[in-house]
Amino acid sequence: MPLSEHEQRLLEQMERQLYADDPKLASTLRGSGRSLRSRHRLLLGVLGVVVGMALLVAGVASAWPLGVAGFLVMLGGGWLASTGWQSGGTAQSAPKTSGDKSPQRSGFMTRIEERWERRREGDR
């Protein structure tokens, strides 16, 4: 269901206020969340895990040193994939908030809550 013109204007106003209040959070939310380098690292790590599993299975069937090498490749691939996932994810790039809320943020949230209440009352 598409937004009405009023809802679109309200959403645009909220976005502008978010950019003004917390530009770091806004840029984090606007971005894709993953850089090209972290995607390649993740892809390479997953490929390493798959190749390592294949070597592990082949090593169990034929020679144990091949199985050990496969395990090490799989372990390295898992580490590479996990560091690629963490470096591009939002968990590390999200801004840290302190327990203190600035008056500007509380004012923004208060205005949003008031608008929400007015909207709910208007729908009844």
DSSP secondary structure of 13-78? HHHHHHHHH-HHHHHHHHS-S--HHHHHHHHHHHHHHHHHHHHHHHHHHS-HHHHHHHHHHHHHHH
pTM of the model: 0.43
* pLDDT score for 53: 92
Cα 100 to Cα 107: distance, rounded to the nearest angstrom: 14
Task: Read off the pLDDT of each residue in 18-43 and give the average, rounded to a whole number.
Answer: 74
The whole-number pLDDT of residue 94 equals 42
CA atoms of 76 and 55, how far apart (whole Å): 13
pLDDT of residue 80: 86
pLDDT in tens, 63-119: 888 989 999 999 999 888 888 766 544 444 444 444 444 455 567 888 888 888 888
Mean pLDDT of the chain: 77
For residue 31, pLDDT over 70 is answered with no
* Position 10 pLDDT exceeds 90: no
Domain spans, the chain: 35-91
